[in-house]
Structure 1
């Protein structure tokens, strides 16, 4: 008895059809996936058809696009912070390097213009050169010492310049600060010596004022004593002198020597009477 069984065989045609069906499903899924674009929170989608930027902006959320025609580029429109360094020369030709920081955001309504005109590397191509230019322009209007003593005014000048220039490119600056100013070691040494000299001069001036004040106080005291003595001399008339003598008399009458060596005891005579 033959117990062997014939196993069913898979034809090449069936295998080919299966692979073809799987490929179609994969392509369909890819097409479906690329048909829908999700614009993330804090971003805006710029649409480019065959590389040409369209006047169409996609807000946050899911959007359907033609994947064979359109590409969606997402731009961050939240407030961003960046730091930059700049080198310049002051009005008195002192070299100065500075480090600044600014907060900014991209205009959401002009995101397509920003991408078309500036691309995605706008920090390097636009913001950093504007910062460099603004520092050079401001530093040239102040001496090195004024850059230190008038720092708020310098900051305001640079801030206004940067804000105005970047606004032309639809980049809105919300805050700006100068983190540090650095000068040459020679200039720093000169500033330190000047501050020491000014401190010594101020100390000497304070000492002089103190001496003047103490001298004036002594003069006033001496004048007061002199005036008191003059007043006392004017008030010493005969009656006052007699009064002072009476106040000092101990009550004893004097003994007077007469002619021939006799003594007259006035107190005894007064007692006898």
Structure 2
């Protein structure tokens, strides 16, 4: 029995000690006159809730306990993604998905704190997402659905420029902007695929025709060269040349003769004139 009563008593003491320790740490934090701002952050000091106009840089800063509070603002690059529906110039439905990198302008920290709040998440919800949707709708309305695909870089730059302008008004800077994807209706996507296939087949047919024309020209040139060569040979054949070829053939026959007459039955014995008297 005494052991059973001691256990709850020890648990209560431990819980009480933890509560006192947490309260002490909180009180120490509230009463501490020193505030440390890390790299990638800026500080906004408020005195009884009223923000100062000075942007506090990273380092050690002093404050009046209970009267002043240092609010830390993250100025590092943040990543955001969003998507929305819009209409193209030719009234095609376009579903756009975008990705951006942005950061808080360190010089505008106080204004952002006053107008938006201390959290960049609040800035994304209140400023960036609505501004991005508005910019996408405004720019996609200037292009046809086909142009959104064929002129994608131009569309991206136009949306980025408009979004950058809207964000700067609220102390936010756009670092990078990318169109992750354009999605159209199924019927339009099929029409685009059919058109691309037709253009590819047309291009292939044109290339085949060019190849056939080149091969035909090569054959004509080859035939012409052969005809020119034959014509040149005919021009070079004269009676003297023919007589010379005859003599050469007779000499070759004599050179190859072994001195024996052909063995034949009946008929006239062939005679080869091998020489004559002058």
Q: TM-score range by the shorter chain?
A: 0.7 to 0.9
Indicate yes or no: 2:21 matched with 1:35. no
Residue 242 of structure 1 aligns with which residue? 243
- Please tell me whether the aligned partners of residues 45 and 58 of structure 1 are also in contact (alpha carbons under 8 angstroms): yes
Residue 46 of structure 1 aligns with which residue? 44
- Match among 87, 90, 99 for residue 88 of structure 2: 90
Give the whole-Å Cα distance in 2 for the aligned partners of 1:142 and 1:175.
22
Deviations 1:243-271 (A, max 9, x none): 2222233459xxxxxxxxxxxx8949x65
- Match among 76, 82, 89 for residue 78 of structure 1: 76
Residue 63 of structure 1 aligns with which residue? 62
Rg larger for: 1
Residue 4 of structure 1 aligns with which residue? none
Question: Aligned with 2:90: secondary structure?
Answer: coil
Unaligned runs of 5+ in 2: 1-21, 258-270
Give the whole-Å Cα distance in 1 for the aligned partners of 2:25 and 2:129.
43
Residue 229 of structure 2 aligns with which residue? 228
Give the whole-Å Cα distance in 1 for the aligned partners of 2:27 and 2:136.
51
Matches within 5 A, 1:201-220: 201-220=202-221
Relative distance call for 1:266 and 1:207 in structure 2 (3 A) is closer
Deviations 1:18-45 (A, max 9, x none): xxxxxxxx99986553133645523333
- Residue 197 of structure 1: how far off its partner (Å): 0.9
Matches within 5 A, 1:183-198: 183-198=184-199
Give aligned pairs, total.
234
Indicate yes or no: 2:195 matched with 1:162. no
Give the whole-Å Cα distance in 2 for the aligned partners of 1:212 and 1:99.
48
Relative distance call for 1:99 and 1:39 in structure 2 (3 A) is farther
- Please tell me whether the aligned partners of residues 86 and 137 of structure 2 are also in contact (alpha carbons under 8 angstroms): yes
Give the whole-Å Cα distance in 2 for the aligned partners of 1:205 and 1:173.
46
Unaligned runs of 5+ in 1: 1-25, 253-264
- Residue 190 of structure 1: how far off its partner (Å): 0.8
- Please tell me whether the aligned partners of residues 35 and 64 of structure 1 are also in contact (alpha carbons under 8 angstroms): no
Give the whole-Å Cα distance in 1 for the aligned partners of 2:70 and 2:206.
72
Deviations 1:205-228 (A, max 9, x none): 121112111111111111111111
Relative distance call for 1:106 and 1:208 in structure 2 (3 A) is same
Residue 23 of structure 1 aligns with which residue? none
